[in-house]
Amino acid sequence: MNDIDDYLESVKIAYSKPGGSNWPAKGRQISNTFITLAALNQLRQLKEAKKAKTDPEIADLFWSTTQIRYILTGEFVIGLKILEQKSKKPSIEEISEGTQNFLNLLKIKAKEDPFCLKGSNKLLSKSQAEEIENSTKWQSSNKQAIKKAVVSASALAWAFGYDTYYTNFMEIHGPYELGEERQLIVREYKFDWVKEVWPEAPELPDMLKYYLIYGNGKITLDWEMHHDESSEMTLQEYAAIKVIDGKETTILDNELEEIIEKNSQIVREQVDKVNCLPILDKIRKGALLVFLQTKCLADELGQDWRPAKEVEQCILEKGLDNWNSTSTKPKDPNAVASHWITRFDPRVALND
């Protein structure tokens, strides 16, 4: 199998599982209005970057592997295929080449198993994982609180990123085998650019990191970052870290409850705020979340990362119609996977 076949197999595995909550709306209700413009922007930025930078340099401009994955199964492939169907530009060959270029970046960032076909998302080398194990101040006395803290951080990423674009703010990687049936999972939450989309958001740490060591079982991650654990899995030790202005500080057990309550309150307020937004403003925020995915790439190219004026025009002209459109997507998970695979394959035109 080649990279594109591996990518499609990985997507098939992930999409065969039950979907998310579709909050505040289904992805298509938000992105169909600007999907072709976002895809063209991503293709243009990638082409321009490749003229001046090496692939490893470009890969460093994406903070997570999941960002790259969500670009491919978000706007990039489908958006370009819609354009190809309408105007034959870009060609299927260009779409396939662009997809391969993004997959190459993914292979650089992931140390192994870049397509999650073995159930992992490994960004650290074995020695880096062992360094975390040896240098971290581990705790074990308040496992219920750390679990709630992880849930509250994930809820923040979801509330600020919608059900569709939360990967702007969240990455899960591992499992890293540490010996004696111990496995390390790292959960990272990047909040230093929340205000780019939600300028009125309260102050948060630039990043939260949770190191979790499990034993007696198996953990798997897939393309969509579904986190599956075997029933016998047990949390053994953990560490919580906040990052502010580049400085890492350990979060102690006695601080966890306050953080959980603060995060939960922010989530409630953010959900209420989004639910009260007019439909077109929900779509506008969705556009910002999509274009945020390549912000660092745009910054490096000296360009404004925000959606162009054409996006706003499309929202005004088509936003409500797309929001109210219906879908004939099948409901059976396996049928859903097959439905999407044909759309995510860059080598096949939409009307083939």
Q: What pLDDT shows up at residue 55?
A: 98
pLDDT in tens, 193-229: 999 999 999 999 999 999 999 998 888 999 998 888 8
What is the helix (H) or strand (E) element at residue 219, kind and residue range? strand 219-221
Confidence class for position 337, pLDDT limits 50, 70, 90? low
Percent of the chain with pLDDT over 90: 82
Q: State yes or no: pLDDT of 334 exceeds 70.
A: no
Interatomic CA distance for residues 79 and 13, integer angstroms: 22
Q: Tell me if 307 sits within 8 A of 293, measured CB to CB.
A: no
- pLDDT at position 327 over 90: no
Q: How far is CA 258 from CA 149, 157, 245, in A?
A: 10, 18, 21
Go through the chain and tell me how many residues it has: 352
pTM over 0.85: yes
Domain ranges of the chain: 3-117+280-344, 126-275
Confidence of residue 281 (pLDDT cuts 50, 70, 90): very high
Query: Would you state the pLDDT for residue 85?
Result: 81
What's the pLDDT score for residue 19? 65
